[in-house]
Structure formats: C-alpha cells, structure tokens
Structure 1
Amino acid sequence: MSEWRERLEQARRSGEFGTIPMADVSRFTGLDLMRRIIDGTYPPPSIGGALNFALTEAEEGRVVFTGWPTEAHLNPMGTVHGGWAATIMDSALACAVHTTCAAGEASTTVEFKVNLVRPVLPGMGELACEGRVVHRGRNLAVSEATLKGPDGRTLAFGTETCSILRMPG
C-alpha cells in the first residue's frame, strides 16, 4: 500500500483528520503549508478521507493529488460519480494556486469547470490529478488540472479561478 493510503487509513482508525491552523496561514507560505500536509505535520483533511485521495506532491505553482476511487463513490450507473473527479480536481486546482501564496495570503475558489472525457471506474488503481498555475495576479489566479488513469490516459481536465485574499493581522 502506498504511503499516502497508509496515512489515510491511520487517520480513519484514529479519527485524526484536520485543517490548517489559521495562525499558521499568517506564518508560513502556501507552499510550506502544502508541504506540511504531505509530511504529516498536519493531519490529512477530512475530504480526503471521505473520498480517498491525498496531496502527494507540491512545488511552487504545481501539485499532485493521488486518489483511489472505490465502490463507495459509484453513481447509479455503476461508474464513479463525476463529483468525485470534480472534487479531486478542485483540490488540485486550488492547492496549485495556494502554493503561490505568501505568508499571510490565502486563496479561495471563485469558479471552476471540469470536462469528464472518460469514465472513472472503481478498481482502476491509483489516479493522479496534477494542478498547475497558468496565471497569478495580485487578486486572481487561474489554474488548470488533468486527472489521469494508471495507464496515463486523460480521464478529465479543467480550469479554475481563485481569489487571492490577504489575511488580517
């Protein structure tokens, strides 16, 4: 089992999911915060536990989330619900932007669009969703992401606009 899946399983057993402390948003850059999630300084976010995905790579302007959809994520037609793909993509799109935030800055999604081009099926194995920043301005940033199967084929792609926020204090 991969390291990220082991960490999620441990968090499920212990009930230790969490969020980034707001005081740390003022102290660390967005990239530092993302790396602290990856290295286990912060517990994994609960959304990753519910949908079985985790942040696995982060550098400035780029992140990768790795996910493992299961039967728990099926729609009535027997494929993984499009909301699963949209959520892992929103996570990659937004976190890619967040890696460009200075200490005291945060970002939030304003809008996003996802194109589902192939079905996501349970049992496909680990899927990788890479998010990249294509524009970073003072107040807005735009990112793009691609969700790929274990064979490297594109399953979905999308874009997102985020607002850049300055934290008080």
Structure 2
Amino acid sequence: MTQPATQDRRATGDETHPAGSRSRTHTWQPPTSYADAGAHTGIELVRMGLDGRLPEAPICGTLGFRLVSAEEGQAVFEGEPGEHLFNPMGTVHGGYMATLLDSALGTAVLSALPAGRAYTTVQLGVHLVRPVLDTTPTLRCEGKAVHVGRTTATAEARLVGALDGRLYAHGTATCAVLALPGAG
C-alpha cells in the first residue's frame, strides 16, 4: 500500500518535500567566543551581545528566541512558540522550554562573573507545569543568579507568558565557574 506522503510527493513532483510542507530559514553571524571578545566582565559581555557588538548565539535564531535584557545577576529571554517546535503529541517540545531556561540561567550567572571567568552548566533541573501550543503567545524567561562563587554558581528561572504572566515552567541550574582560555 502506498503511503499518503508518497502520493503527495509524487503529486508535487518533489521527492523530498511532501505537498503542504512548511519551511523555516534563518541566518546567523559566526559566533565570537568570550575568550576572543577580550578582557570584559560577564555583564559587559552580555551587554555587548544586547547592543550588537557581539553576535547572538546561533541557537537563538535556530529556535526563535532572544536575549531582551540583563542586569548583573539577572537575564531575560523571550521566545516565540510555533508548530516548528512540536513533538509528536502536538505540543511544543519540552526541550524548547529547557533551552530557554538554560539560556536565562546561564546568562544570569555569566552576568555576575568577573573578567576572565566563564561558566558551563553541570546540572539543569526543569519542571514543566503547563503545555505550550503553537497558539501560545510570546514566552518570557527570567533568570536570576542565587549564588556565584569562585568555582560554582547556582541560578533559578521562571518561564511565563509575556502578556499574562502564566507559569509554563521553572528550573534551576548548577554551573561550574572556570577561567577563560588565556585568562591566566
């Protein structure tokens, strides 16, 4: 028996894209590592990203989210849910929410670090409390550093509806704090 998708492909003459398929294209600037950006504090690096002196991380364009504000120890990202982020159950994949949380958590930690220091997430805890649909309005993820030490840092974040404040997910992270290469 012929599968409907095969019939659709034949009907369009396109063997790689079934009829009715959608596409999503994005472009990005080559990333600049923080080590290559020069001797700056974490908040300076974050602000350089906000004002365009450093390119945004390519993952932002890939998944459709962006850093919108930051203060020392705090970072806010916003994202646009959509059908392109669906899992097989017809809801936005939990990995999208986890990525927003990880971005806000890590950037909150980064924004509190001195020059020559970086971080990497070593533990990420995510609690998904409400499904996200393609009709869900803009999501806002607010991260806050809880503790930033010489070798470890922790942070917490909430993912809410940007317009109504409804909670969709919350999470925590533990980060290892380390020296940037060449920072001595």
Q: TM-score, with normalisation over the residues of structure 2? A: 0.81
Which structure 2 residues correspond to residues 88-107 of structure 1 after superposition, within 5 A? 88-107=100-119
In structure 2, relative to structure 1, the CA distance for the partners of 1:143 and 1:21 (3 Å cut) is: closer
**Deviation of 1:16 (Å):** 2.3
More helix by share: 1
Q: Deviations over 1:14-33 (max 9, x none)?
A: x4252335232x51111011
2:46 corresponding residue in structure 1: 34
1:1-12 matches, within 5 Å, as 12=26
Per the TM alignment, residue 59 of structure 1 is displaced from its structure 2 partner at its CA by 0.5
Q: SS at the partner of 2:26?
A: helix
User: Residue 26 of structure 2 contacts residue 62 of structure 2 at CA under 8 Å; is this kept in 1?
Assistant: no
Where in structure 2 are the equivalents of 1:14-163 lying within 5 Å? 15-24=28-37, 26-149=38-161, 150-163=163-176
Partner of 1:5: none
Which ranges in structure 2 are unaligned for 5 or more consecutive residues? 1-24
Q: Secondary structure at the match of 2:62?
A: helix
Q: Kindly, what percent of the aligned residue pairs are identical?
A: 48
> How far apart in 2 are the matches of 1:21 and 1:104?
9
Between the aligned partners of 1:152 and 1:51, the Cα distance in structure 2 is 21
Contact 1:17 1:44 in 2 (8 A): no
Tell me the SS of whatever aligns to 1:23.
coil
Q: Is the radius of gyration larger for structure 1 or structure 2?
A: 2
- Between the aligned partners of 2:75 and 2:150, the Cα distance in structure 1 is 20
1:166 and 2:184 are equivalent in the alignment: no
TM-score using structure 1 length: 0.88
Partner of 2:6 in structure 1?
Answer: none
- Counterpart CA distance in 1 for 2:159 and 2:40 is 28
Tell me how large the CA RMSD over aligned residues is: 1.5
Aligned length in residues:
157
